[in-house]
Amino acid sequence: MQPKMGKMDIDYQVLHDAFFKYQTKPKLTSHGDLYYEGKEFEVKLREMKPGMLSRELKEALGMPEGAPPPWLINMQRYGPPPSYPSLKIPGLNAPIPLGATFGYRPGEWGKPPVDEHGRPLYGDVFGILQLDEPNYDEEPVDRSKHWGDL
């Protein structure tokens, strides 16, 4: 029997470069991490924060610049998400952007959630409850003593 020589045309330089020149180390799991099939394809969410809409998401939802998210009306009706109690959502528990108005026409921010006395239910929707924070820039600093001296 004769071997079938010359049937495959392999460029050994390209093969060498693929394995030795351009090869990179794979992302390894840390010690004690449980590996499961498909873990390397998971989306890393470190750069994403709840409530912050990316430009791509706004474009996919068809939101013009300065428009509220489409789920704001339901949040005003049913309340903020219970998973994120301290999340500030403009039009729900934080002031809306400058130049924006409340209303139900396209681009408007719905009805502010208020009680029977007109006070906001979830936070400072109107931007009037600004707490006066002390301005430490104007106070004189005594630099003659070291901090912590008795």
> If you write DSSP's letter for every residue of 118-132 in order, what string do you get?
S-BSSS-SSS-----
79 falls within a domain: yes
36 falls within a domain: no
- Give the chain's mean pLDDT: 82
5 falls within a domain: no
Radius of gyration of the chain, Cα coordinates, nearest whole angstrom: 29
37 falls within a domain: no
Q: What pLDDT does 39 receive? A: 83
Per the structure, the complete domain to which residue 75 belongs is given by: 55-128
27 falls within a domain: no
101 falls within a domain: yes
User: Is residue 4 pLDDT above 80, yes or no?
Assistant: no
The pTM (predicted TM-score) of the whole model is 0.55
Count of CB atoms within 10 A of residue 94's CB?
A: 17
Backbone angles phi, psi at 14, to 5 degrees: -65, -40
Q: How many CA atoms lie within 13 A of 127 on its CB side?
A: 10
What's the structural domain count of the chain?
1
104 falls within a domain: yes
User: Which letter does DSSP use for residue 94 in this model?
Assistant: B
- Mind listing the pLDDT tens digit for each residue in 38-95? 887 877 777 778 888 889 999 999 998 889 999 999 988 888 889 888 888 888 888 8
User: Which letter does DSSP use for residue 16 in this model?
Assistant: H
Contact between 95 and 124 under an 8 Å Cβ cutoff? The reply is yes
71 falls within a domain: yes
- 95-122 residues labelled b (16+ CB within 10 A) or e (exposed): bbeeebeeeeeeeebbebbeeeeeebeb
112 or 73, which is more confident = 73
